[in-house]
């Protein structure tokens, strides 16, 4: 089976990627989060997950809430860190990244929103299902294409070599319209919360589909 053609796959965390799903994805520059911090978070996550599974009174959404908490922890770190690279704050680099997101729009996905921060990217899109286009479209396939192309072009522009993006991305299957609206509001407000601008409209590298 092609490595992309799975409804479920496992890296450091389990992910769902059904055909036609709407996804919230966050990916960051390589080295933005030090390896010792990542390892510490992964160990804490394993402990917290084990506690939930062993708790007879645990609720059905406790694991989902756990994943959300760890995403917010990482996103807060990325917003506040003064270390690492911030290549995405350069207009030429941000333009490459946004171009890689728009490339597949209307071809394999419906691009709903994104925000390019100095060291990470938030994006929300709906994958087309096999009733809209003949070819099956999978999340891992799309993200591999987006990250590979943008990494090569950004490295070329910066005169760099090697890993540009951290290997694994955070992705979440959006469950309903309410969650979708909340996620889009969150990512568009990210530059304001990170004190990069005063209002959402002031941030150059964000997008929300009109209508």
Of the candidates 112, 97, 103, 105, the one whose C-alpha atom is nearest the C-alpha of residue 208 is: 112
For 53, other C-beta atoms within 10 Å of its C-beta total 10
Look up the pTM and report it: 0.90
Longest C-alpha distance within the chain, in Å? 55
Return the pLDDT at 4.
Answer: 42
Summarize pLDDT for 42-94 with one digit per residue, the tens. 999 999 999 999 998 988 899 999 999 999 999 999 999 999 999 999 999 99
Backbone φ, ψ for residue 173 (5° rounding): -75, 120
Compute the distance between CA of residue 172 and CA of residue 30 in angstroms, rounded to an integer: 20
Instruction: Give the Cα-Cα-Cα angle 101, 123, 144 (nearest 5 degrees).
Output: 55
In sequence order, which residues have a C-beta less than 8 Å from that of residue 52 and are 6 or more positions away? 58, 62, 63, 66
Summarize pLDDT for 15-35 with one digit per residue, the tens. 556 778 999 999 999 999 999
Summarize pLDDT for 167-211 with one digit per residue, the tens. 989 999 999 999 999 999 999 999 999 999 999 999 999 999 996
Tokens describing residue 70:
């760890």
Residue 8, exposed/middle/buried by CB under 10 A (0-12, 13-18, 19+)? exposed
**Structural domains in the chain?**
19-33+86-208 (3.30.70.1290)
Backbone φ, ψ for residue 165 (5° rounding): -100, 150
Query: 139, 171 in Cβ contact below 8 A?
Result: yes
Tokens describing residue 59:
């609720």
Q: How far apart are the first and last CA of the chain?
A: 38
**Rg of the chain taking only CA atoms, in angstroms:** 17
Question: pLDDT grade, residue 133 (50/70/90)?
Answer: confident
Segment 134-138 mean pLDDT: 84
Length of the chain: 211
Query: 200, 191 in Cβ contact below 8 A?
Result: yes
Query: 101, 153 in Cβ contact below 8 A?
Result: no
Return the pLDDT at 60.
Answer: 83
Question: pLDDT grade, residue 2 (50/70/90)?
Answer: very low
For CA atoms 18, 20, 25, 27, give the dihedral sign: positive
Mean pLDDT of the chain: 91
Compute the distance between CA of residue 45 and CA of residue 43 in angstroms, rounded to an integer: 5
CB burial readout 33-52, b (16+ within 10 A) else e: beeeeeeebeeebeeebeee
Return the pLDDT at 8.
Answer: 43
């Amino acid at each position: 089976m092609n490595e992309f053609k799975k409804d479920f796959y496992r890296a450091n965390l389990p992910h769902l990627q059904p055909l036609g799903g709407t996804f919230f994805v966050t990916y960051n520059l390589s080295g933005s989060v030090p390896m010792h911090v990542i390892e510490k978070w992964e160990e804490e996550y394993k402990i917290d997950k084990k506690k939930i599974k062993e708790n007879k009174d645990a609720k059905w959404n406790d694991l989902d809430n756990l994943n959300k908490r760890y995403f917010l922890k990482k996103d807060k770190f990325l917003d506040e860190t003064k270390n690492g690279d911030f290549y995405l704050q350069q207009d030429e680099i941000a333009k490459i990244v946004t171009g890689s997101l728009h490339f597949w729009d209307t071809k394999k996905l419906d691009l709903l929103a994104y925000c390019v921060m100095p060291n990470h990217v938030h994006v929300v899109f709906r994958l087309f299902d096999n009733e809209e286009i003949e070819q099956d479209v999978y999340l891992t396939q799309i993200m591999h294409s987006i990250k590979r192309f943008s990494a090569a072009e950004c490295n070329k522009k910066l005169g760099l070599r090697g890993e540009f993006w951290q290997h694994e991305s955070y992705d979440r299957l959006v469950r309903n319209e309410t969650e979708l609206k909340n996620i889009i509001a969150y990512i568009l407000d990210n530059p304001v919360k990170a004190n990069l601008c005063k209002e959402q409209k002031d941030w150059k590298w964000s997008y929300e589909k009109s209508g």
